[in-house]
């Protein structure tokens, strides 16, 4: 988005004399052209997937208000039920940026670039939790044989890929190891499924589990982590390579990394239980990339 916007055809190719005589009209045409151009680009289409902690309206309103003020652009928040839907919109350029998961990021690494990565407890990492009912007598993955198991999303790192890789490393097929598997399309729904007994075990985002334990302790305390994965790259905000480093994306990056320095931004971070955002090196996601590479011919 560099240089001045093109003027309307009616404002072009005037002779110098005509242009001088009609300077007022020319100014009006230029203003109209730039206004129309501005209406087209003065918006950031920002996608949210189920990796987002909650659909709480107060949080969404606060995030939208902060980003609009900090970037100078109108922020349009776009939500979808699945990771795949948001990723498809992002890769095709129908979104300017989206808060996605590390799994689709590494899957489409040749088409995407990082905008910013959230910091949880000061670091751009989180873990996947394998959870069971709080009163269940189980100590290892092998104890879950024959379970009804709840995954979050087929494109989720913590809610699918980590557990799928763990089984693969042990020579186990989830369709055989588990009696039944389901996708809940939301980490909160995985917790609810295990807490209610609808599922006997589940794969969930550890950040979501920990934050929900603060927000909904009666629900979450009916579950417990059986296993916690190694630290992996926190679900990032990404953009397509074609839009990377455009004015819009640079403004969004700056708004995110400076969020902790602004009262309205700190309020959003407090609601998210995050400590900030950073411009992280893509190597943060090498652990997820290794799991994806291991299962490339299986999934």
For helices 206-215 and 187-196, give the axis angle rounded to 10 degrees.
70
pLDDT digits (tens, 9 = 90+) for 100-127: 999 999 999 999 999 999 999 999 999 9
> Which residues have a Cβ under 8 Å from the Cβ of 294 and sit 6 or more positions away?
165, 168, 169
Dump pLDDT digits (tens) for 25-60: 333 333 333 334 444 558 999 999 865 555 577 889
Task: Please report how many Cα atoms fall inside a 13 Å half-sphere around the Cα of residue 213, on the Cβ side.
Answer: 12
- pLDDT band for position 18 (50/70/90)? very low
Confirm if 285 and 102 have CB atoms less than 8 A apart.
yes
Ranking 23-37, 58-72, 200-214, 249-263 by mean pLDDT, the lowest is: 23-37
Q: The pTM is what? A: 0.83
Most confident segment among 11-15, 38-42, 165-169: 165-169
pLDDT, tens only, 81-103: 889 999 999 999 999 999 999 99
Give the pLDDT band of residue 80 (cuts 50, 70, 90).
confident
Position 56 scores a pLDDT of 76
Kindly indicate the confidence band of residue 297, based on its pLDDT and cuts at 50, 70 and 90: confident
DSSP 91: H
């Amino acid at each position: 988005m560099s240089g001045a916007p093109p003027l309307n055809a009616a404002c072009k190719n005037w002779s110098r004399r005509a242009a001088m005589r009609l300077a007022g009209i020319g100014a009006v045409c230029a203003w109209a052209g730039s206004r129309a151009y501005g209406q087209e680009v003065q918006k950031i289409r920002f996608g949210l997937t189920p990796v987002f902690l909650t659909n709480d309206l107060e949080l969404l309103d606060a995030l939208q208000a902060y980003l609009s003020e900090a970037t100078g652009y109108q922020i349009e928040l776009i939500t979808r039920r699945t990771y795949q839907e948001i990723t498809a919109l992002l890769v095709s350029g129908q979104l300017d940026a989206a808060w996605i998961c590390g799994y689709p990021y590494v899957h489409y690494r040749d088409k995407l670039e990082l905008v910013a990565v959230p910091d949880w407890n000061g670091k751009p990492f989180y873990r996947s939790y394998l959870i069971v009912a709080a009163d269940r007598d189980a100590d290892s993955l092998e104890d879950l044989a024959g379970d009804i198991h709840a995954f979050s999303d087929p494109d989720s790192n913590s809610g699918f890929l980590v557990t799928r890789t763990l089984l693969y490393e042990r020579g186990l097929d989830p369709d055989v190891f588990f009696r039944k598997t389901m996708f809940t399309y939301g980490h909160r729904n995985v917790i609810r499924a295990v807490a209610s007994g609808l599922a006997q075990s589940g794969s969930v985002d550890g950040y979501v589990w920990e934050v929900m334990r603060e927000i909904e302790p009666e629900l979450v305390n009916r579950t417990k982590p059986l296993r916690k994965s190694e630290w992996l790259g926190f679900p990032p905000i990404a953009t397509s390579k074609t839009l990377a480093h455009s004015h819009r994306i640079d403004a969004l990056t700056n708004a995110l990394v400076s969020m902790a320095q602004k009262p309205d931004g700190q309020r959003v971070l407090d609601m998210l239980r995050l400590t900030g955002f950073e411009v992280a090196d893509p190597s943060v996601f090498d652990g997820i990339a290794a799991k994806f590479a291991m299962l490339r011919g299986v999934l």
